[in-house]
Structure 1
Amino acid sequence: STAVCTLASVNLARHLKKAESNENTSYVIDWDKLKDTLETMVVALDNILDKNFYPSEESRKNTMDLRPIGIGLMGFHEALIYLGIPYDSDEAVELAKEIAKFMRETVYRKSQELAKERGAFPHYYEGNYDYPPRRNAVLLAIAPTASISIIAGTSSSIDNYFSNIFSRDTLSGKFIVVNKPLMKMLEEKGMWNEEMLEKIKANQGSIQYIDELDGIIDKRLFKTAYEVSPYRQIDIAAAFQEYIDQAVSKSLYIEEDLRDDMESIYMYAWEKGLKSTYYCFIDKTIKGEKYTMNVNKRGERRGFGLARAKDQVNKDLEELERMAREKYGDEVVDKVKAGNVDACPTDPLLAKICPSCE
């Protein structure tokens, strides 16, 4: 049979709330809100299965027999930053396990409730399954979320930021992307300025060796992907995999001097129970310089400094709005810009000018 899985990912960074106690962090996970979102996703994805387009009759039949869906996660690193937990800490691994377990319990319970209303997936009655009837054979998959995380303005999947500043090429043009939590914290300390931006660029997107930030912010929170051991990256993925019934797509970021350890790294992933990884980036191939310094040097030749960067962003938004009005008309665009929930955009072009999406 040909398998097809309909995916959706919850943005963990948008499921935090202010802490009520005097803990070290000012935020905690809003488990009630996360539960509501996950339950909504189960119902929505199950509805989509019946309306979806399938590339072949085999894939349609497989979907109708098993009704597979794949609920995943993005914004994990951004959430860790607000929670005050370094990505490469034991606490992060334990939290990953706690989140994955919560996701599994929540979506399985909701799928069992749906089975009582709509019936279990048809193959349930033909197979030898050791669990109560549920609507969907499988429900969880950690997808890469490379594109949708950009639209959501958060860190991708369960990966950490590979750089604190870089550029993205999209169909709408080139965008300079800055680690939002870092920018927010530096702004609160009065230290987000063009000089700091240049220092981050000069350090290829890292802040670990910027002395002015010592004692100002917890620099451990902002380690880039290449500054975290690939073995610890695997620990995070394995913590999720323990409760994910499908696979975890986890990109690995490896320093050049660990190239000869590739076999050991992947054997470690297998031993930890990972079903798969995703891309493997080696810093010699993809450096922060490629995504920051060179791009921004070209920008500097155009006068693209910090102040003018904001001007450029505004110009980009104006151009996007012009394109959206041309495509959808003034009435639709005005509703989106006003935050009208009835006009909630599914088109990335509209999402770029929607204040709620941003």
Structure 2
Amino acid sequence: MQNDSSQTVSKPITQDAQTISSDVLREKYLKDGETGEDDVFKRVARALASVEPENKRAQFETLFLDNLKAGALGAGRIMSAAGTHIQATLINCFVQPVGDCIQGFDDGGYPGIYEALREAAETMRRGGGVGYDFSRIRPRGAEVKATASIASGPCSYINVFDQSCSTVESAGSRRGAQMGVLRIDHPDVLEFVTAKRTPGRWNNFNVSVAVTSSFMQALLADEDCDLVHHAKPGKQFIADGAHVREDGMWVYKTLPAQELWDTIMQSAYDFAEPGILFLDNINQDNNLSYCESIAATNPCGEQPLPSYGCCDLGPIILTRFVRHPFGIAGKADFDFAAFEKSVATQVRALDNVLDVTFWPLPQQRDEAMAKRRIGVGFTGMGNTLAMLCLRYDTAQGCAMAAKIAQHMRDAAYNASIALAQEKGAFPKFEAEGYLANGTFASRLPPELQQKIRQHGIRNSHLLSIAPTGTVSLAFADNASNGIEPSFSWMYRRKKREADGSTAEYSVEDHAWRLYKKLGGNVDQLPDYFVSALDMSADSHIAMMQAVQPFIDTAIS
């Protein structure tokens, strides 16, 4: 392979834009005077280069522009707001803390419920989604000494956050997005996991249960589990047997772990929620386990984050790196050299986003500056495998996906190490903690670990596979979303218009369209054209299992 990516990246085969793609581009991403994606790319490249040294800005603007044209996009907020005059964040999502008090700060320094609500409203007003862990809030029926009353529990306050999200209009007319998390040992967990069985409840929330290793051990051993909290129960709970454990936590209820798990699984089966967060695994794997604790994720779940942490995301369109798609004009292959160059440039671009963006809250800025998390990712994996004549639901397809993810990991970490040599490592960097046994970084190739010890690294985390709905529609001809297989080759899709009405569109899959464009018979598709509707849940899990070892945050 040639080293110069400008000589190896094949230009995408041009096709007439789908109506839905043109409409999404116009409604969400084109700003005053812009007429097409090239104008968006120029605006974004100019903005991201603006924090480079003045004598190098033109050079980096060209570099970023070429990379955008090659398929290295910013996430939706970047593509929409970078280079504009509105005070909107370029960060898609955040995690924000919620304490066990109404106002002020609780004993652990967490903001009270209504201070957290204010912070969330300001974040959503500026265009960011928010994830929260509500587990600190005392359960329904707990004692409230200050007012000699009984607590209403976290679920009642989630109702308030849900209503606030409905009311706040985000910058750029983006609908608010939220994630609510509750620990599996919280006394109100049963109310939490069944809440969405009520139609219309928490429409502005995804919800997930934070599952501990101790619970999973109890489940496997067919044992009971305690539902606990630090807050003292009210008289009725104490009369019913609530008591203090040796660790000082109040046990509100004890029940079979299997019974609780079955309730969660039934809700997930019937209503597609709650999701599951394996909390101890997340924290053990965390490169920053030495200086932070994670209790929640962003709304879509691709980044577990500490309080005030952010998602600075940038997917790369994988289909752009397939040469001779479908083997029609030669042997289909993936241009790894060009892809690695694109990843390296993407690391710098996303690092610059942290310095360019408007921050809704000073705590968010401080957190980002201390750790400089970013999330290079990809979209179009399902289409890419088809273009390489590989079935998504086979060992060969999973192996190719893993190879792509591994190259992305190594290119991203190498680029961040080089950036640390130029601009400095992130301030919280400590080599021993970062590379400690159990962290993601401790499983990097030895040569990368040695470079990190020697030079440091610019970004604490580098990789994240997010959903890419509107970005894929607007800029990738409806390439398959993120890591997912294609949903369907042709379908009808409803889209909410700016005026609140609904329009219906005919939508075609990018790989299907390209195969047809190249002369393929779409009435008799090859075996490697496999959609999400054609495969088992196990096949989806197998793909996640293949790729996740190379991703330092998560896959959504």
Q: Same fold (TM over 0.5)?
A: yes
Q: 1:9 to 1:187 in 2, by over 3 A?
A: closer
Paired residues of 1:25 and 1:84 also in contact (CA < 8 A): no
Query: Quick one: distance in 1 between partners of 2:328 and 2:488?
Result: 29
Identity %: 31
Out of 227, 234, 241, which is 2:548 matched to?
A: 241
Query: Quick one: distance in 1 between partners of 2:517 and 2:316?
Result: 27
Matching of residue 148 in structure 1 with residue 454 in structure 2 = no
Q: 1:191 to 1:232 in 2, by over 3 A?
A: closer
Query: Quick one: distance in 1 between partners of 2:357 and 2:371?
Result: 15
Q: 1:55 to 1:27 in 2, by over 3 A?
A: same
Query: Quick one: distance in 1 between partners of 2:431 and 2:463?
Result: 22
Matching of residue 112 in structure 1 with residue 417 in structure 2 = yes
Query: Quick one: distance in 2 between partners of 1:71 and 1:30?
Result: 18
SS at match of 2:377: strand
The AA in structure 2 aligned to 1:147 is: T
Query: Quick one: distance in 2 between partners of 1:234 and 1:190?
Result: 30
* 1:164 match: 489
* 1:229 match: 536
Higher helix proportion (structure 1 or 2):
1
Post-superposition Cα deviations, 1:86-145, rounded to whole Å, max 9, x if no partner, equal 111110111111111111100000000000000000000497222411000000000011
* 1:45 match: 350
Deviation at 1:58, TM superposition (A): 1.7
Query: Quick one: distance in 2 between partners of 1:3 and 1:184?
Result: 39
Query: Quick one: distance in 2 between partners of 1:175 and 1:40?
Result: 35
Paired residues of 1:139 and 1:245 also in contact (CA < 8 A): yes
Query: Quick one: distance in 2 between partners of 1:17 and 1:223?
Result: 20
* 1:8 match: 314
Deviation at 1:18, TM superposition (A): 3.2
* 1:340 match: none
Post-superposition Cα deviations, 1:234-263, rounded to whole Å, max 9, x if no partner, equal 1111211111000010xxxxxxxxxxxxxx
Query: Quick one: distance in 1 between partners of 2:553 and 2:366?
Result: 19
Query: Quick one: distance in 2 between partners of 1:32 and 1:170?
Result: 40
Post-superposition Cα deviations, 1:268-290, rounded to whole Å, max 9, x if no partner, equal xxxxxxxxxxxxxxxxxxxxxxx
Query: Quick one: distance in 1 between partners of 2:396 and 2:464?
Result: 23
* 1:138 match: 461
Deviation at 1:163, TM superposition (A): 1.2
Paired residues of 1:35 and 1:106 also in contact (CA < 8 A): yes
Larger radius of gyration: 2
TM-score under structure 1 length normalisation: 0.58
Post-superposition Cα deviations, 1:300-337, rounded to whole Å, max 9, x if no partner, equal xxxxxxxxxxxxxxxxxxxxxxxxxxxxxxxxxxxxxx
The AA in structure 1 aligned to 2:428 is: H
Q: 1:103 to 1:190 in 2, by over 3 A?
A: closer
Query: Quick one: distance in 1 between partners of 2:323 and 2:520?
Result: 24
5+ residue gaps, structure 2, are: 1-306, 436-448
Paired residues of 2:328 and 2:518 also in contact (CA < 8 A): no
Post-superposition Cα deviations, 1:146-201, rounded to whole Å, max 9, x if no partner, equal 11111121111010111111233254754311123324434655756xxx6xxxxx
Paired residues of 1:164 and 1:222 also in contact (CA < 8 A): no
Deviation at 1:28, TM superposition (A): 0.7
The AA in structure 2 aligned to 1:89 is: T
Query: Quick one: distance in 2 between partners of 1:187 and 1:103?
Result: 29
* 2:304 match: none
TM-score under structure 2 length normalisation: 0.38
Q: 1:24 to 1:233 in 2, by over 3 A?
A: farther
Q: 1:185 to 1:125 in 2, by over 3 A?
A: closer
Paired residues of 1:42 and 1:111 also in contact (CA < 8 A): yes
* 1:35 match: 340
Number of aligned residue pairs: give it.
Answer: 224
SS at match of 2:467: coil
Q: 1:90 to 1:177 in 2, by over 3 A?
A: same
**What are the within-5 Å matches in structure 2 for residues 1-358 of structure 1?**
1-18=307-324, 26-125=331-430, 128-130=433-435, 131=449, 132=452, 133-151=456-474, 152-153=476-477, 154-168=479-493, 169=495, 171=497, 173-186=503-516, 191=521, 213=524, 217-218=525-526, 220-249=527-556
The AA in structure 2 aligned to 1:18 is: H
